[in-house]
Amino acid sequence: MGNRRQFLQATMLAAGAAVLPRVESTPVAGGARVVSTWDFGVGANAAAWPVLARGGSALDAVEAGARWAEADLCNPTVGRCGNPDRDGVLTLDASIMDGDGRCGAVAALEDIAHPVSVARAVMEKTPHVMLVGAGAQQFAVAQGFQKTPLLTDSARDAWREWLKTSKYAPQINAERQTRPGDKTNHDTLGILARDAQGRLAGACTTSGMAWKLHGRVGDSPIIGAGLYVDNEVGAATASGVGEEMIRNAASFLVVELMRQGRSPADACREAIDRVVRKRPEASKTLQVCFLAMNKDGDVGAFALHRGFVYAVQDASPGPHDRLQDAASVYRTEQK
Ligand code: ASP
């Protein structure tokens, strides 16, 4: 695309014509784009973008982005710095999917630093889609992933503090408050990419809800709940209280709504409305967020409550770490 434009510009200049207007909406990497949930999505996008910029696959890009988030030692809800469950055990959930319907997932995985890569190995090296718990760990080790204790001192301290009340009460956008002075939103990293060939892929990785029951699995590793991708239509991912996404097969729903002609933002909004219609009272006190991209790379998002942000990166001019506020049903950010 870039070469063609340069050729046209050179031809028109030679003919004395005006230079073609800059086509700002046409990324130089042929329409490649990556989007990620929350403000830490900026870092994930920065890790994913070089893959797309050199013509790599959307699948490699989302894995690179998710691995960045899993290694981020500032993030108490994703990867190795995640908060543990109520028994003090850190369990990780992740999934990966490409637009051809290939997918893999792991749930309740312990002591393996990169669950998204284990999920990819499940997808590529087994006839299965999901492995859980001890079986997922056994598979990971057999694939060469190193088993290493992951719970950080700060996560252990936060858990000990939580034990004083032992109250499981997820709060809207409140996992950011688990560390003194921590000002960022912390939830699941959901990442969606479109590569220069127009292929889509997505990944989702999380330590789940802090202080959950041991063995609890959220939406993130469940294909159709926390993540869904279809090259014919688009891709969607989710963050927030995963039980709501599972109840509504929500990421699948968002993609199917786009299939019916809805824009990404509109599809996310309708999925949020379903959550509200099913559980109007509960939805006042919990956060649910959707992020979607259609096959053309258009992006949209919607949340139940104010405070959900997502990051966009592509080859368009300007800052490459654009953070966008998602619209929401409830406008007041709850603390
Ligand atoms: N969706 C994740 C889960 O329920 C957590 C989150 O995104 O906040 O495990």
**CA trace torsion 149, 150, 153, 154 (10° rounding):** -170
Q: How far apart are CA 296 and CA 299, in angstroms?
A: 9
* Residue 187 CB–ligand 1 contact under 6 Å: yes
* Residue 242 CB–ligand 1 contact under 6 Å: yes
Q: How far apart are CA 87 and CA 190, in angstroms?
A: 26
- How far apart, in Å, are the Cα atoms of 13 and each of 5, 6, 9, 78, 87? 12, 10, 6, 52, 69
* Residue 240 CB–ligand 1 contact under 6 Å: yes
Q: How far apart are CA 178 and CA 174, in angstroms?
A: 8
Cα of 57 vs centre of ligand 1, distance in Å, is 26
Cα of 238 vs centre of ligand 1, distance in Å, is 8
Average pLDDT of span 290-294: 98
Cα of 285 vs centre of ligand 1, distance in Å, is 15
Whether 89 shows a pLDDT value over 70: the answer reads yes
Q: Of 235, 330, 327, 314, which Cα lies nearest the Cα of 282?
A: 330
- pLDDT tens by residue, 214-271: 999 999 999 999 999 999 999 999 999 999 999 999 999 999 999 999 999 999 999 9
DSSP symbol at 147? B
Task: Please give the structure tokens belonging to residue 245.
Answer: 């996404």
Q: How confident is the model at residue 4 (pLDDT cuts 50, 70, 90)?
A: very low
Contact 124, 224 (CB under 8 A): no
* Residue 241 CB–ligand 1 contact under 6 Å: yes
The β-bridge partners of 192 are 35, 202
- How far apart, in Å, are the Cα atoms of 105 and each of 45, 119, 237? 21, 4, 14
- pLDDT tens by residue, 135-156: 999 999 999 999 999 999 999 9
**Which residues are known to be catalytic?**
188
Cα of 173 vs centre of ligand 1, distance in Å, is 11
- Name the least confident of 72-86, 92-106, 123-137, 257-271: 72-86
Q: How far apart are CA 47 and CA 59, in angstroms?
A: 13
Among 78, 177, 191, 220, the mutation site with the greatest number of ligand 1 atoms within 8 A of its Cβ is 220
Cα of 217 vs centre of ligand 1, distance in Å, is 9
Task: Please give the structure tokens belonging to residue 165.
Answer: 């009340």
- Name the least confident of 50-64, 79-93, 129-143, 263-277: 79-93
So what's the pLDDT on residue 334?
A: 52
So what's the pLDDT on residue 67?
A: 97
Residue the block writes with tokens 């995640």 = 82
Q: List the domains of the chain with CATH numbers.
A: 2-330 (3.60.20.30)
CA 142, chain centre distance (Å): 27
Q: Of 9, 205, 248, which Cα lies nearest the Cα of 105?
A: 205
Query: Between 69 and 335, where is the model more confident?
Result: 69
So what's the pLDDT on residue 139?
A: 98
Instruction: Name the strand (E) or helix (H) holding 105.
Output: strand 103-109
So what's the pLDDT on residue 216?
A: 96
Q: How many residues are listed for the chain in this entry?
A: 335
Q: What are phi and psi of 272, to 5 degrees?
A: -65, -40
Among 219, 227, 309, the mutation site with the greatest number of ligand 1 atoms within 8 A of its Cβ is 219
Q: How confident is the model at residue 196 (pLDDT cuts 50, 70, 90)?
A: very high
Whether 87 shows a pLDDT value over 80: the answer reads yes
Query: Between 28 and 242, where is the model more confident?
Result: 242
Contact 191, 44 (CB under 8 A): yes
Kindly report the protein residue whose alpha carbon is nearest to atom 9 of ligand 1: 208
Among 37, 38, 175, 187, the mutation site with the greatest number of ligand 1 atoms within 8 A of its Cβ is 187
- Name the least confident of 76-80, 108-112, 145-149, 213-217: 76-80
So what's the pLDDT on residue 322?
A: 81
- The pTM for the full model equals 0.88
Kindly report the protein residue whose alpha carbon is nearest to atom 4 of ligand 1: 242
* Residue 206 CB–ligand 1 contact under 6 Å: yes
Whether 194 shows a pLDDT value over 50: the answer reads yes
- pLDDT tens by residue, 300-328: 999 999 999 999 999 987 666 689 999 99
